[in-house]
């Protein structure tokens, strides 16, 4: 297989730090590391199911992660004229979030980050 065993072990360790009972909640660092490894595996012709097994993940989980864009990596904060309504967030997909307080926006972003 074209994937270095020490890299698999490193990612497996990150994935092992998941929180929760039953359904595990993985850190963004662990997901990003697994996605990068999966992309290299796909490029080398290694089946994702084989890599998922080595990482201790269900193949559907790893496959879903590789199809998901990184949620906030491309977001851009723009300086709109003040409207008095609070911050406005523009996502690359065209999504616009406005009308929330800073605390509400922080809670929303925190929940979105944990649900992926």
CA end-to-end distance (rounded Å), the chain: 29
Residue 37 and residue 77 in one domain = no
Residue 81 and residue 42 in one domain = no
pLDDT for the residue 80? 62
Residue 50 and residue 80 in one domain = no
Asked whether the predicted pLDDT for residue 70 surpasses 60, the reply is no
Cβ-based burial of 27 (10 A; exposed 0-12, middle 13-18, buried ≥19): middle
**What is the domain-level CATH number for residue 40?**
1.10.10
Range of the domain at 30: 5-67
Look at residues 56, 67, 50 and name the one whose alpha carbon lies nearest to residue 26.
56
Mean pLDDT, rounded, for 95-104: 82
Q: What is the pLDDT of residues 21-64, one digit of tens each?
A: 778 888 889 999 999 999 888 888 889 999 999 999 999 999 99
Residue 10 and residue 39 in one domain = yes
Mean pLDDT, rounded, for 87-104: 80
pLDDT for the residue 9? 92
Q: Given 50, 67, 84, which residue is the final one in a domain?
A: 67
- For residue 13, how many other CB atoms are within 10 A of its CB? 11
Q: Which of 58 and 1 is assigned the larger pLDDT?
A: 58
**Encoding tokens for residue 31?**
């997901």
């Amino acid at each position: 297989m074209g994937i270095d065993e020490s890299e698999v072990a490193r990612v497996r360790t990150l994935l092992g730090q998941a929180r929760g009972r039953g359904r595990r909640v993985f850190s963004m660092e662990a997901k990003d590391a697994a996605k990068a490894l999966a992309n290299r595996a796909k490029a080398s012709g290694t089946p994702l199911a084989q890599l998922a097994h080595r990482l201790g993940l269900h193949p559907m989980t790893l496959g879903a992660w590789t199809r998901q864009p990184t949620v906030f990596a491309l977001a851009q904060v723009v300086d709109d004229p003040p409207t008095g309504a609070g911050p406005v967030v523009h996502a690359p997909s065209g999504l616009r979030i406005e009308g929330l307080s800073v605390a509400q926006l922080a809670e929303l972003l925190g929940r979105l980050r944990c649900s992926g």
